[in-house]
A = this chain, B = another copy of it.
């Protein structure tokens, strides 16, 4: 396996995540090739010097690249993985940046045996999506989860780590199922909460004119995630259903508990909940 510096890397999908990765990898590999569906996207990426060259032809890009990174919402990744087998060369590395990993590594397991598959999920993002929001510094300091399959070679994992490092991220190898369980509570349930809060506030604002001037920094923090790319979020929910539902149950139980304590004015119980969550977090996070 050639080191990253001698590889041609194809990034499929030049949105926030793909565009940022492409820009971060330029100069760390032989060439970065951007693949998009629209000519204007390639033009913008070329103008901003985020890619060395661009193409609308997926097959052509996959045939020429030793490393391919699928940077689209999860269900598009699934469909691209199914198409990629026909084009990818012997020994090439196929990665993705999808937010859930179980279904993706399952699809990757069906690829021809000469291809090295490696799931990936960089733990960074923004509430804005699209190439316009892309930034070569986006990956800097972020964890970049890598989920190998049983068939993935050690060299392929090393190359994937090299790619993560080149983008400024910290690679972290783990099992796809463990990844999906963890991010359900750290990322997917928080999204549902954020959207539910925004939706409840919109409903309340109908009865309560002049609500928005009283929405300050705390409200903005809590509703930022609700501005995520809807297509990305829908794919996450549908491909991590069991874990998100379990996390929502956990959360609703906590809310119900708190509501019950508040309803009966249980000051001691409320005080314990209010300071307890933060304290236990500071203890266990160590």
Contact = CB atoms under 8 A, between A and B. Distances in A.
A79 interface: no
A196 B218 CA distance: 15
When all copies of this chain in the complex are counted, the total is 2
Interface string A61-73: 0000000000000
A187 interface: yes
A208 interface: yes
Contacts of A213: 123, 143, 172
B262 A195 contact: no
A250 interface: yes
Contacts of A137: none
B221 A224 contact: yes
A158 interface: no
Nearest to A220: B221
Nearest to A183: B214
B280 A199 contact: yes
Interface string A161-205: 000000000001010001101110111011111111111111111
B252 A216 contact: no
Nearest to A232: B274
B277 A202 contact: yes
A218 B190 contact: yes
B274 A234 contact: yes
Interface residues of A, number: 87
Which of A174, A192, A200, A244 has the most chain B CB within a 10 Å cutoff?
A200
A259 interface: yes
A174 B209 CA distance: 12
Contact of A182 (B172, B210, B226): B210
Nearest to A201: B185
B145 A238 contact: no
19 contacts: A125-B218, A143-B213, A182-B211, A185-B208, A187-B214, A187-B218, A189-B197, A190-B219, A197-B251, A198-B278, A200-B250, A202-B277, A202-B284, A221-B221, A230-B275, A234-B267, A238-B270, A252-B252, A252-B255
